[in-house]
Chains A and B, each alone.
Chain A
């Protein structure tokens, strides 16, 4: 039965084109990731110039004359507007990043959901994908507004710095602008053409539009990422003068570019899922019919699934980014995680624990949709216990803020018993156990409404249980033994064991369950039969994600300390210091509240567009005598 669609020649050709585009994108990313387009860092910039001169590609005089040294900015180079320029740019930039993340991420999972609807022939998926795009479309204009305002603010308030950035990235600016035009065109065609290109051959056209939209959106993301990573780890510049000597690709492809690209793509999807989950929760709570409740309950579940599924690999991407920061500059790495910014990672731990608690709580509440969940609810208290213990370990600091009397009373600056929980091995154990039990929550939720009928069910379940048990033991063993009883190199290397163990649990869980679900009996399950409290968990997710993004944005900017471009363009403005944590808390809370207020406006607009006022009966028509 499938989709009921046949595959005549034309859609088959479109299908090939669709798949070739995916292949092309993958090849491009592989080549870029393998440095096929070259990379240049500060260290070898002068060699590149010399080589260009030697090969005859660049005239010696021209090579000597062309590169303009980086500016040495003074206080007078910064306009004095009577208030902190940094605070203004901070607010605008952060809001632009929030909305940018949303509008880039939503089309990613919308395309997947639309494709699932197309393959299964289930219109519910298609309708839900269309509804998600409505939110993204409204947010798009606001993203562009903040982006334009940010550009204006940067040029007005930091003219010297922006002049240097234009030297480095000038070749890219027109490309970026053109990409935006293309993104806008594709977005409007994708959204407004939804119903016109709904079935058959035309659906392939629509899917291709969605794919192109995502390709352009992702390109916009990686282009903008290169500015941020250039500021942290500049490449393609002369080590002595800071002059831009590399070509645009060499300037873009610094050591932090790909780690940030990966981190932001995954994080955007998680963030986007959380935001649309809040929309679903908002719509669920104001639904008046059982049908509407069922629809938005299902939407909320799908959003939570996307958010948590994308969230699970995030620690690995973040770990890679931090490892590259350490490899580039040990000083920068230590500033981030061992120096004055270290406490922020304890705050990050609290926020991530909140996200995991909210996501898990939502799944546990969701189990009430099916009576078959009674078999698994006994596991919830143990999952909650591990999440709680993991949170407590993660929140335990190593260096305590103590005065001399307290140090004397404690017998040192670290707590004698809890001190060891403050270092990375303990944190790794905590976070990976939390991820494993979060996956367990997913797994028991999926099993809740099924009765497995395969003959090897007992053996399959035994293997699954043992994989969990041994994986947990392995994570703890690797963390404790290599973390506290071997040298640093083995300690750092053992974290890969923990990552791999977690991935083995996830992959084997998905594979074994897929095989065990063949021929399984579906038990009755009622969408809409869920507590209102679970919807508040869906509100907690985007609020926490937003605050976390704001916090990490502050960390990313602050690791540059008093540099606009690290070791190249010094910040000599009135704000050339890392702001205090208290001030940061206020700023991040402010931008979060602003974002949520605008988001509520977007949700209201999205709902308003579906409302049609009924024509009053007694309404008079022009020229009539009614």
Chain B
């Protein structure tokens, strides 16, 4: 029973970690791509100019 619960928790943690990594990649990508075009963004991805 405990093993099943641990497995479900592990599974959820894996998915959450994957989501966080993917979100970080694309968040960084957005900032990078816009800044090299001279179009800086705020932390909330709104235009800084």
Contacts and interface: CB of A to CB of B under 8 A. Distances in A.
Contacts of B29: 474, 497, 500-501, 504
Given A462-B14, A486-B47, A470 B37 contact: no
A478 B41 CA distance: 12
A458 to B, nearest CB: 6
Contacts of B26: 470-471, 474, 501, 504
B21 A466 contact: yes
Main secondary structure of the interface of B (DSSP, over half): helix
Interface string B23-43: 101100110011001010000
A490 B47 contact: yes
B18 A459 contact: yes
Contacts of A489: 39
B8 interface: no
Contacts of A494: 34
A465 interface: yes
Contacts of B15: 462, 466
A459 B33 contact: no
Contact of A462 (B18, B37, B39): B18
Given A462-B15, A486-B47, A496 B33 contact: yes
Contacts of B22: 463, 466-467, 469-471
A183 to B, nearest CB: 40
A493 interface: yes
Nearest to B29: A500
A462 B13 CA distance: 10
Q: Is the interface of A mostly helix, strand, loop or mixed?
A: helix
Contacts of B18: 459, 462-463, 465-466
Contacts of A487: 47
A162 to B, nearest CB: 42
B25 A504 contact: yes
Contacts of B30: 474, 478, 497
A151 B29 CA distance: 49
Contact of A497 (B25, B34, B47): B34
Interface string A459-498: 1001101110111001001100110001101100110110
A585 B29 CA distance: 42
A151 B45 CA distance: 55
A459 B18 CA distance: 8
B22 to A, nearest CB: 4
A420 B26 CA distance: 26
A246 B19 CA distance: 56
A470 B19 contact: yes
Contacts of A465: 18
28 contacts: A458-B11, A462-B18, A463-B21, A463-B22, A465-B18, A466-B18, A466-B19, A466-B21, A466-B22, A466-B23, A467-B25, A470-B26, A477-B45, A478-B30, A481-B45, A490-B39, A490-B47, A493-B33, A493-B37, A493-B39, A494-B34, A496-B34, A497-B30, A497-B33, A500-B29, A500-B33, A501-B26, A504-B26
Given A459-B18, A493-B39, 13 more contacts: A458-B14, A462-B14, A463-B18, A466-B19, A474-B29, A486-B47, A490-B34, A494-B34, A496-B34, A497-B30, A497-B33, A501-B29, A504-B29
Task: Rank and list the top 9 A-B pairs by shortest CB-CB distance, nearest first.
Answer: A466-B22, A462-B18, A466-B18, A470-B22, A463-B18, A493-B39, A474-B26, A493-B37, A466-B19
